[in-house]
């Protein structure tokens, strides 16, 4: 079993603050995906990164894939209460979508 | 926007009973998946399915589990004799091709009592 560790596990911040969530592994992944999951719902894809060192931006969210394709980060600028949720990273080793999910980061943005 | 739909949304079953969870993948997708998430734990891969056969399966997907595409639209997960530890949210997912974006359904919450 490949382990994807996310940190922090829980994060509570004030509206307007910046934050970074980390996803680390000792394994190399062909791609890494970030999802957001609401209670009682399935994960919803935010972004996929495939190239080492790749940076992708989605409005106030910035995703980076590590050079060695073992880790990734999600940076949120000026967090909003609507950003509150569970953020999951998931790695794909073989390109077969047999995703290994991370442990998750539960973000709470306080108005 | 096309979506993966799952039924039932919630099922309670007695230990030892058979359960069938149903999924309708997105219509032009060729790869189908089942994942599960035990309450408070990680989402875990169970099985992938392509061209009417299993592509890959995890250690979780033992002989108690089976998948089937009985017609052109449905994709089912059967648990033959449920155990308490099978209680979880089961997510169906699909993708156009292997390695393409995977879309998850909203899940079927199974409670085994």
Buried-exposed string B57-75: b where 16+ CB fall within 10 A, e elsewhere:
bbebbeeebebebeeeeeb
CB contact under 8 A, B106 and A48: no
Nearest Cα to Cα of residue A75 among A102, A50, A55? A55
Return the DSSP state at B94.
E
State percent of chain B over pLDDT 90: 84
B44 min Cα distance to partner chain A (Å): 7
A76 min Cα distance to partner chain B (Å): 23
Per-residue pLDDT 10s for chain A (111 aa) are 557 999 999 999 999 999 999 999 999 998 899 999 988 888 999 999 999 999 999 999 999 999 999 999 999 999 999 999 999 999 988 766 788 999 899 999 999
Q: Dig out the tokens for B81 from the structure.
A: 């004799």
Average pLDDT over chain B reads 93
pLDDT of residue A2: 59
Give the separation between CA A14 and CA A78, rounded to whole angstroms. 9
pLDDT of residue A24: 95
Nearest Cα to Cα of residue B92 among B37, B35, B54? B35
Residue A5 forms contact with B (CB below 8 Å) = no
Torsion angles phi and psi, residue B3, rounded to 5: -145, 160
Give the separation between CA A59 and CA A77, rounded to whole angstroms. 9
Q: Say whether pLDDT at B22 is over 70.
A: yes
Buried-exposed string A4-40: b where 16+ CB fall within 10 A, e elsewhere:
bebeeeebebeeeeebebbbbbeeebebbbbbbbeee
Q: Radius of gyration (Cα) for chain A, nearest Å?
A: 13
CB contact under 8 A, A96 and B55: yes
Buried-exposed string B22-33: b where 16+ CB fall within 10 A, e elsewhere:
bbbbbeebebbb
Q: Reading across the β-sheet that carries B19-24, which strands appear in turn?
A: B5-7, B19-24, B75-79, B65-68
């Amino acid at each position: 079993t490949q382990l994807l560790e996310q940190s922090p596990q829980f994060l509570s911040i004030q509206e307007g603050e910046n934050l970074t969530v980390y996803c680390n592994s000792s394994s190399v992944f062909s791609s890494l995906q970030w999802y957001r999951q609401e209670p009682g719902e399935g994960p919803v894809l935010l972004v996929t990164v495939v190239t080492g060192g790749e940076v992708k931006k989605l409005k106030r969210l910035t995703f980076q894939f590590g050079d060695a394709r073992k880790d990734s980060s999600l940076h949120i600028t000026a967090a909003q209460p609507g950003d509150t949720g569970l953020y999951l990273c998931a790695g794909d080793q073989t390109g077969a979508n047999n995703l290994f999910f991370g442990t998750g980061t539960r973000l709470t943005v306080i108005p | 926007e096309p979506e993966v739909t799952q039924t039932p949304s919630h099922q309670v079953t007695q230990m030892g009973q058979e359960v069938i969870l149903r999924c309708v993948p997105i219509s032009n997708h060729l790869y189908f998946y089942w994942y599960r998430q035990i309450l408070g734990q990680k989402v875990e891969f169970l099985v992938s399915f392509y061209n009417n056969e299993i592509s890959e399966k995890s250690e979780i997907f033992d002989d108690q589990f089976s998948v089937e595409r009985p017609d052109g639209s449905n994709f089912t997960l059967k648990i033959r004799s449920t155990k308490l530890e099978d209680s979880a949210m089961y997510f169906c997912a699909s993708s156009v091709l292997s390695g393409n974006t995977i879309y998850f359904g909203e899940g079927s919450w199974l409670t085994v009592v």
